[in-house]
């Protein structure tokens, strides 16, 4: 037809590439809450993705809303870019919106390339894998990990999340979380590896960053309410959610949060079992148990499993925040009704000496516990390291047959050790 140029698509070319997909968690909520400020922030985020990809030999080939899509010639460049991108997002000043969290997936494979357009299964897998991730997480497909040949960006570790069923993908996908250890536990230097406890951090300040919180509750409304409140506070960062104990254990493995709010009554795996498994694998993670009812057996079981706090679901929002801060600082926060229950139980205990007597130093530590001192405060008062203080507290609980710091404090008062 005269005057009309027919579009001629370029010839398809089969190429092996690695794709990096990124999007912003809660972008709709950001737009509703912050309007034009959120739009400006997302535009800056796109520029950061494009610049980071280009620096590592990749290119941004598509932007759709808050989604940014880049491709690379090799897996190492893509994974390095992904890690650097998460660092850049975390360190950037986002102004009025406060904080931006991005989820990233990296998938390798053969695609059909037509100019700057790509078609093939790796792109669908990358998109579906994003639905499995939360903001701040970087997930790698097994195909990408295979191509890395053991390479990892400095300061990162891989956590094998096993084979996962992705929506509309017939075969299970082997998924790995790429965790930068300094971001897994802010302010903790190199941070924990798979075999380290990472117990060096006991308080939060502006340099260390917010307290990283994981919410585990089978009621989505409860999780949404907690997230909405905590995200209004500058010293908290909700890094993930889980709807049952089993998923909570998996989320703790890949996110390594500072504090977990754990419901006790959930399907598939209850909170008590989940607390025990998490504390066994990650003793540095603090857990606050949350439930609707006070039952002495559940209270003591939760504390014996390793919980460092116990709240009722009707607690005021600020009390929840106080419990999280207390747990993060090595302290115990109990609902007042729970404290009364434990005090009554302690008064009923026989005043028998422990089978193994406390050392002089342990009595000094116990005296500090009775004053409500944290591990950090005990260390300062007694001129010992915080790790040593933590060890003394553990030994005291073991010798006295107690389940928590609160019980130890009550013991000290009852036995006039203060």
pLDDT in tens, 280-334: 888 888 999 888 776 666 777 787 788 888 888 888 888 888 889 888 887 777 7
Encoding tokens for residue 317?
């929002």
SS3 for 204?
A: coil
SS3 for 388?
A: helix
The structural domains of the chain, ordered by start, are 13-184 (3.30.70.1230), 211-344 (3.40.50.2300), 352-414 (1.10.10.10)
Encoding tokens for residue 203?
């308080």
Q: Above 70 in pLDDT, residue 356?
A: no
Report, as an integer, the average pLDDT of 222-237.
83
Instruction: Kindly report, residue by residue over 121-140, the tens digit of the pLDDT.
Output: 899 888 888 877 777 889 99
Residue 246 to residues 137, 166, 242, 271, 382, Cα–Cα distance (Å): 19, 18, 8, 9, 40
pLDDT at 342: 63
pLDDT at 393: 84
pLDDT level of residue 344 (50, 70, 90 thresholds): low
Closest by CA position to 390, among listed 303, 300, 288, 284:
284
Q: Above 50 in pLDDT, residue 112?
A: yes
Closest by CA position to 369, among listed 400, 340, 401, 404:
404
pLDDT at 128: 86
């Amino acid at each position: 037809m005269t005057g009309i140029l027919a579009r001629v698509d370029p010839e398809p070319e089969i190429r092996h590439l690695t794709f990096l997909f990124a999007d912003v968690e809660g972008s709709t909520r950001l737009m509703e809450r912050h309007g034009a400020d959120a739009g400006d922030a997302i535009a800056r985020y796109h520029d950061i993705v494009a610049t980071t990809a280009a620096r590592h030999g990749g290119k941004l080939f598509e932007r759709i809303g808050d989604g940014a899509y880049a491709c690379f010639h090799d897996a190492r460049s893509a994974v390095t870019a992904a890690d650097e991108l998460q660092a850049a997002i975390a360190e950037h000043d986002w102004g009025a919106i406060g904080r931006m969290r991005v989820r990233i997936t990296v998938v390798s494979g053969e695609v059909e390339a037509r100019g700057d357009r790509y078609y093939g299964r790796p792109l669908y897998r990358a998109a579906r894998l994003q639905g499995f991730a939360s903001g701040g997480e970087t997930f790698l497909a097994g195909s990408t990990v295979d191509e890395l040949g053991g390479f990892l960006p400095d300061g990162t570790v891989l956590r094998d999340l096993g084979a996962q069923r992705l929506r509309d993908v017939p075969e299970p996908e082997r998924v790995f979380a790429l965790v930068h250890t300094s971001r897994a536990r802010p302010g903790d230097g190199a941070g924990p590896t798979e075999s380290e406890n990472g117990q060096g951090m006991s308080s939060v300040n502006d340099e260390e960053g917010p307290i990283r919180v994981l919410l585990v509750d089978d009621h989505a409304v409860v999780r949404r309410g907690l997230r909405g409140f905590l995200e209004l506070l500058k010293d908290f960062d909700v890094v993930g959610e889980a709807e049952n104990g089993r998923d909570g254990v998996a989320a703790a493995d890949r996110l390594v949060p500072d504090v977990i709010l754990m419901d006790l009554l959930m399907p598939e795996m209850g909170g008590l079992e989940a607390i025990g498994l998490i504390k066994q694998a990650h003793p540095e993670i603090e857990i606050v148990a949350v439930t609707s009812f006070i039952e002495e057996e559940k209270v003591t079981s939760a504390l014996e499993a390793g919980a460092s706090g116990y709240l009722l679901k009707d607690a005021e929002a600020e009390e929840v925040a106080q419990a999280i801060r207390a747990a993060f600082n090595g302290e115990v926060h109990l609902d007042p009704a729970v404290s009364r229950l434990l005090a009554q139980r302690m008064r009923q205990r026989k005043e028998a000496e422990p089978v193994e007597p406390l050392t002089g130093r342990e009595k000094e530590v116990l005296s500090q516990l009775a004053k409500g001192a944290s591990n950090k405060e005990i260390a300062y008062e007694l001129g010992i390291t915080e790790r040593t203080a933590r060890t003394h507290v553990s030994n005291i609980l073991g010798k006295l047959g107690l389940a928590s710091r609160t019980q130890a404090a009550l013991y000290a008062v009852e036995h006039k050790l203060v």
